[in-house]
Chain A
Amino acid sequence: DVKVTQSSRYLVKRTGEKVFLECVQDMDHENMFWYRQDPGLGLRLIYFSYDVKMKEKGDIPEGYSVSREKKERFSLILESASTNQTSMYLCASSLYIGGLRGGYTFGSGTRLTVV
């Protein structure tokens, strides 16, 4: 069974902390994505990566950065966490960047609360 694994299901962090969210996939996919999910706003793309060490900004990159040192791992970094970054964060991977031929495989999500 193909898997995208996010390291934490729930996280509580303090304002101003540096936060790392980790995602690992075992499908040898080139493309990986970070989305945040908020009620009424759907899934919004933060960053994506189409190759090791490559990254592209999504629709809402402000306040975030990413790292992809290995093909299977894609990390999302909140440089200085703020309360408006409280959200559900979903990682995904895909064979094709647009999602054709199998779509995106999502992780179970990390619910981050910033207090």
Chain B
Amino acid sequence: GENVEQHPSTLSVQEGDSAVIKCTYSDSASNYFPWYKQELGKRPQLIIDIRSNVGEKKDQRIAVTLNKTAKHFSLHITETQPEDSAVYFCAVTGTASKLTFGTGTRLQVTL
């Protein structure tokens, strides 16, 4: 089945700095790459996604980039704020048509 690796497992940045989280996947036929944010004690929620026919997508301070050749994609958060502190999960939809999640990155934005 699909294998998704996510790095780093924890990330601490100062408020205003940028944060980057990277994921690699194994199935070259994968076609959909969402990112979920889970705040402490809350449910995961979709924050941005990208399809395989697009290289980059932006939504205000967050962006996702996809490199299909290298089979990796990244989440970029600019001008980080304390409310960005959460666990972030990447995910991949492969040939089995179901979402496989990464292991998560705990982002801490410090003042």
Q: Which residues 48-87 of B have a CB within 8 angstroms of A?
A: 49, 51
Q: Which residues 30-46 of B have a CB within 8 angstroms of A?
A: 31-32, 34, 36, 42-46
Given contacts A99-B32, A104-B46, contact A42 B101 (CB under 8 A): yes
Check A45–B43 contact: CB distance below 8 A: no
Complex Cα distance, B36 from A43, in Å, reads 11
Q: Tell me how many residues of B have a C-beta within 8 Å of chain A.
A: 25
Looking at the complex, which one of A35, A41, A99 makes contact with B34 (CB distance below 8 Å)?
A99
Check B93–A100 contact: CB distance below 8 A: yes
Complex Cα distance, B48 from A102, in Å, reads 10
Q: Tell me how many residues of A have a C-beta within 8 Å of chain B.
A: 23
Looking at the complex, which one of B34, B46, B103 makes contact with A40 (CB distance below 8 Å)?
B103
Complex Cα distance, B97 from A58, in Å, reads 12
A82 contacts B by Cβ under 8 Å: no
Complex Cα distance, B36 from A102, in Å, reads 12
Check A97–B98 contact: CB distance below 8 A: yes
**What is A's interface to B at a CB cutoff of 8 Å?**
33, 35, 40-45, 48, 58-59, 90, 97-100, 102-104, 106-109
User: 10 nearest interchain CB pairs?
Assistant: A103-B46, A98-B93, A42-B103, A43-B101, A106-B43, A99-B99, A42-B101, A98-B97, A42-B104, A106-B44
